[in-house]
Amino acid sequence: MKASAHLEIRQGQTLVPYREALAEMTTRNAAVADGSACELIWLLEHPPVYTAGTSAAADELLDSRFDVVEAGRGGRYTYHGPGQRVGYLVLDLGKRARDVRGFVYAVEGWVIETLRDFGVESWRADGRVGIWTRGPEGREAKIGAIGIRIRRWVTMHGFSVNLAPDLRHFGGIVPCGIEDYGVTSLAAIGISVAPDEWDRALLARTDAFLARLEPGGSATKDLP
């Protein structure tokens, strides 16, 4: 999908500091809400950082080896860093279906379907936020995270997918508050996907993703 007058699609090629991205996203959120800017889908990567959601517990930060930033999104601690593709979504649900659960479900489905394009079966798990698959040892492990904030019916934050990050960096936190499951990546399960390859596959499904967000758009139903 190409950008339009109503939607900007931005693909970052260099690492963007998390605080810088958060400030820009916050400004864009307000501008979309007041009608002075178009919506935004922003794909990028960050230098290593731990971010704390509104439900983050102090004892889930095990080792503050990297900068720790309060993100303002829902959820708990997560890690961002090189090799992990992040998608920030500043979308106006006020002009679409005002359905928070449906929006989250649609974002999850967008990631799951894109992973399938690379031969990876992934899924949602009851009671565990995020996208899950089988790690190299066959155990269930997290490959993608979801974190959303909505202000004046305009979304912020979005998702992250582990293409080839240093998985040891997740060891400084209890990722998303879940201790009993590991974290994996496409590289860890033997699949090499460059950021531009991921972006192309994901953006090819943008129209279908946005259609889910329209009234009657079946946001909570999976597409074939």
* Tens-level pLDDT at each residue, the chain (224 residues): 555 679 999 999 999 999 999 999 999 999 999 999 999 999 999 999 999 888 888 888 988 889 999 998 888 888 999 999 999 999 999 999 999 999 999 999 999 999 999 999 999 998 888 999 999 999 999 999 999 999 999 999 999 999 999 999 998 887 655 666 789 999 999 999 999 999 999 999 999 999 999 987 665 555 44
In the numeric block, the tokens 């679409």 are attached to: 96
Whether 176 is catalytic is yes
Give the pLDDT of residue 223: 46
Cβ neighbours for 43, distance < 8 A, ≥ 6 positions apart:
9, 10, 11, 12, 85, 86, 87, 88, 195, 199, 202, 203
pTM of the full structure:
0.91
Strand partners, 42: 10, 88
Catalytic residue among 22, 163, 176, 183: 176
Q: Which domains does the chain have, with CATH numbers?
A: 7-211 (3.30.930.10)
